[in-house]
Chain A
Amino acid sequence: MPLLTRLLGPMLLCAGLVILAVAIGGIRNGGWLQVLVVVIGAALLFNGIGKVARRRFGPHVDVTAWLCAVWLIVLISAAVFAPLLPIGEHQDLAATLSEPTMARPDLLSAHPLGTNNFGLDLLTRVLYGARVSLIVSIGAVLMGMVFGGLVGIVAGFRRGPVDWVASVLTNSFLAVPPLILLIALATVLEPTLQNIAFALSLLATPSMIRIARASTMALAEREFVMAGRAMGASNLRVMVRELLPNVALPLASYGMVMISVLIVAEASLSFLGLGVEAPAPSWGNMIAEGQGRVFEQNPHIVLVPGVVLFFTVFAFNALGERARSRFDSRAGKL
């Protein structure tokens, strides 16, 4: 039955789409039945996309990675353009006095993902929360990459006392569990975005130094460095022209994984009430709204930000791991 196997992918794809459409439009206010149908539709759709993609692009196409990339692109552009989108109110309590509170998600209503206790729109809050998470964690990773990369390259190249000082300092930072360090910082710092990003960058920097140092030490033994030296290049030139471009790639791929770690760290901090303060939205404090009996009666309060957080962390993890196994020779070992 070659025809059937060939058509199975497109058929699954269409079936998934139809079921999703029925779930969204057909059984409104269906509660868990609706959720179940959405999950079934999404599973069929995923399977269908996989089959179609493998038929079209060969058996080794990585569907998960592509879907992760699509998710991140959609999320990031929606977060960037959130103020321009025709969506509800995200934090002004006075503006939502007439809005329904704790509305259930209904994709065809004015509040597609529902509202919270104060009538604030969850879709809008998720997008503004994404702004917080992404700005803070990407900023922190960039700071960590620049500073950690520089220190790591110098330490790995010069060795001696510089290296010793750098490694004792990194070890000291790594000697405090990350979340405990964050809590200690949060005791002292005002929870502004800059301060949170700064605190997170302290988490990212030590491991960046370690990776840059280890890569530099491996690269410093290679022929192209020796060739550069033999041609009379200064230490600075060797570090900037020979080592930096080669260290940057493993550093950047580790940065992808680090972003997901920092997103979770920021969410944890806000969940503990030490990060972004309500009513300003962050995924962590949105999930914290669902503590206690709220989750039981209104699961969407936790599930909406929870699912978005999970997808985002998963996407950064998946893409980062793939990048690491490709660009970071040491990652293959673990």
Chain B
Amino acid sequence: MTNQSVKDDAGALGSASAAPSLRARRRAGAWRRTRRLFVRVAELMAVLFLVSLGTFALLSLIDTDPAVTILGEGHTQADYEAVREDLGLNDPLLERYADWLGSAAHGDLGASIVPPYHDVLDRIMAALPVSVELALLGVGMALLFSIPLAMWSAYHAGGRIDRWISAGTFSVLSVPSFLAGLLLIWLLSNGLGWFPRAEWSRLDEGLGANLYHAFLPALTIALAETALLTRVLRSDLITTLQEDYILAARAKGMGTVHIMFSDALRPSSFSAVTILGISLGRLIGSTVIVEYLFALPGMGTLVVGAARTGDYVTVQGAVLVIALIYVATNALIDLSYGYLDPRVRRSHA
């Protein structure tokens, strides 16, 4: 059976002698963990390499000529040719890729090909904090909303409010973020006049102003995340609440709120962490849309603007940076399971 070869290798290492000592077994376990980590890192590198190659190759297929984008119409063939030569567009693809990757490793992602020809890395560095802040605020708000909702729902599982919450979260999941954002602007900004729209104030202009401007976009991001987290946490909490130690805590006379927060929440949070990892791609997507909708100076606005003007250099750089962050975050989440739940550590070994 070839499909078990990896497992068998690992197993053979563990049971090298007929009755291995505890120490030998521990050493074998450590070796296996190192090996697994090594394989994982190698796979990550392969994935990142393919992603960068793929992005580069894809964006080289652009059918509007970058030379025309740069110079505009109505120049001589020789002029266009000179620009192409200057950009290195006449070299073979792999050579260009090697050049690009080499300079990217040194922190040089090239310069935008449309005016005002800013350095791509500078623009990304200016935009990234805005996006990261929005995404974190969104997830933070989602946790703030979803934990009490899920607790209420799980404690009264099957009741009327539970059914309303379930129906509500399922419906919210079917609302695209741009629609949710437009509705929120309409209600809270235009209707009630509580929040500004299409304005941003940087973190160094004061925390209060920054949070005030970030609230509505973050709330838009938080809506879908809240719905997802509530559903997952609820089903986990229902399972946890049936455990014996919850009954024991109740028998000791602990209050419901105390049991919920100190006994039930942590063991129920693993699926939620998984879901946060799985839905990270969607979180990035909704951040992009929300930034565009609220005209905030983040990665989303940067990449959408570049895509519209055919500025492929900026799109390349931005996609590379976003993919790096995405892959790294997912790997961290993967690793965090072992720390959150000791059972995972053992079952893998």
Report A's interface with B, CB cutoff 8 A: 159-160, 168-169, 171-172, 174-180, 183-188, 190, 217, 220, 260, 264, 267-268, 271-274, 284, 287-288, 290-291, 295-296, 299, 302, 306, 309-310, 313-314, 317-318, 334
| Chain B hits for A175, CB < 8 A | 47-48, 51, 323, 326-327, 330
- Interface segment among B93-101, B253-261, B281-289: the answer is B281-289
B116-143: CB near A (< 8 Å → 1, else 0) gives 0000000000000000000000000000
Pick 12 A–B contacts, CB within 8 A, sort by A.
Answer: A159-B2, A179-B288, A180-B322, A183-B307, A186-B307, A267-B176, A274-B304, A274-B307, A284-B178, A296-B186, A306-B179, A309-B176
Please report the C-alpha to C-alpha distance between residue A139 and residue B308 in the assembled complex, in whole angstroms.
25
The answer to whether B323 and A188 touch across the interface, beta carbons within 8 angstroms, is no
> A179 and B284 in contact (CB under 8 A), knowing A188-B61, A287-B182, A317-B174?
yes
Within 8 A of A (CB), among B284-299: 284-285, 288-289, 292-293
Q: Does B89 contact A (CB under 8 A)?
A: no
- Interface segment among B19-27, B28-36, B52-60, B71-79: the answer is B52-60
A307 to chain B, nearest CB (A): 9
Say what secondary structure dominates the interface of chain A: helix
The answer to whether B175 and A184 touch across the interface, beta carbons within 8 angstroms, is no
Q: Does B43 contact A (CB under 8 A)?
A: yes
The answer to whether A178 and B2 touch across the interface, beta carbons within 8 angstroms, is no
Q: Does B310 contact A (CB under 8 A)?
A: yes
| Chain B hits for A168, CB < 8 A | 43, 46-47, 50
Q: Does B303 contact A (CB under 8 A)?
A: yes
| Chain B hits for A178, CB < 8 A | 281-282, 285
Q: Does B312 contact A (CB under 8 A)?
A: yes
> A291 and B293 in contact (CB under 8 A), knowing A175-B326, A310-B179?
yes
A48 to chain B, nearest CB (A): 18
Q: Does B15 contact A (CB under 8 A)?
A: no
Q: Does B103 contact A (CB under 8 A)?
A: no
Please report the C-alpha to C-alpha distance between residue A272 and residue B303 in the assembled complex, in whole angstroms.
11
| Chain A hits for B174, CB < 8 A | 260, 310, 313-314, 317
> A271 and B51 in contact (CB under 8 A), knowing A177-B284, A187-B62?
no
Please report the C-alpha to C-alpha distance between residue A75 and residue B318 in the assembled complex, in whole angstroms.
39
The answer to whether A317 and B173 touch across the interface, beta carbons within 8 angstroms, is yes
A31 to chain B, nearest CB (A): 15
Cross-interface CB contact of B47 among A172, A271, A309, cutoff 8 Å:
A172
> A317 and B170 in contact (CB under 8 A), knowing A172-B54, A272-B304, A273-B308?
yes
| Chain A hits for B61, CB < 8 A | 188
The answer to whether A313 and B59 touch across the interface, beta carbons within 8 angstroms, is no
Closest chain A residue to B316 by CB distance? A184
The answer to whether B190 and A296 touch across the interface, beta carbons within 8 angstroms, is yes
The answer to whether B182 and A180 touch across the interface, beta carbons within 8 angstroms, is no
Cross-interface CB contact of B326 among A177, A188, A306, A334, cutoff 8 Å:
A177
Closest chain B residue to A272 by CB distance? B304
| Chain A hits for B48, CB < 8 A | 175
Please report the C-alpha to C-alpha distance between residue A215 and residue B62 in the assembled complex, in whole angstroms.
38
